[in-house]
Chain A
Amino acid sequence: MEECTARQRLRIYFTGVGGQGTLTATTLLAGAAMIAGLDVVAGEVHGMAQRGGVVESVVLLGGWRSPRVDFGEADVLLGFEPLETLRGLPYLRLGGAVFSSSDPLPPVGVSLGQAQYPELAVIEEKIRQIAGLCKFLPCRELGLAAGSAQSGNTALLGAACAAGALPFGTDVLERAVKNVLSPGIQEVNLKALALGAAA
């Protein structure tokens, strides 16, 4: 378990599908790091985000200057969709930690029967070959239990935090929810955070 305990200097890679709220989760985590008094830099690639493409972003803590994570550099990979978690796996360093949603969003090629979605067991096996810690979470279910499917992302952050993969506690994430998110969705996200941390 030594591999998954948080270092102060940490590179986190987020991946998901356009419209899932990947960038909001990124801002939330970066905001939490600010509250914790950590040096933080984050990076996003916009542009095609809302058209069903892959959305990637990064948060680097503890004094990194570059808002970018390359292959083999990420200490933590947060995947909001299992296929994208697998696609993002080369970014993880050997022994890094993976937290991923277990709810597939099939790409169009799969929906139309032109491509095959990999089995979850296969995805998990490939991740375990690289990662020191791998946790799948039913984010959609947890999100819905909290009050909205979207808040499943926050549940995933809660799980990563509770597993000790982030250099601050869930209390800091709670404060970030109150600081960063609009008042109307704070309650739901606080609930999702707790559900994720307990999962």
Chain B
Amino acid sequence: MKGSYGVVIFYSTSAALRAESLAKRENLKIKLIPVPRHLSSDCGVCLRFESEERATLQKILQEGKVEYKDICNL
């Protein structure tokens, strides 16, 4: 899985920014990127993560009660 990425897609940019803030606090290697068109028709951004950090990120989102629409592999 090394070198592969996934993305979290959110309902709002505010939620994506909250996720970014919480993940950065835990030093996860994440980045906000524009949502790939094939994944969603929403405008805005999604949170890209390294696949090996997926479980940690999901835990952070759950604990911070951050709502998200989907998590998918890139």
Chain B binds chain A: no
Q: Residues of A with Cβ closer than 8 Å to B?
A: none
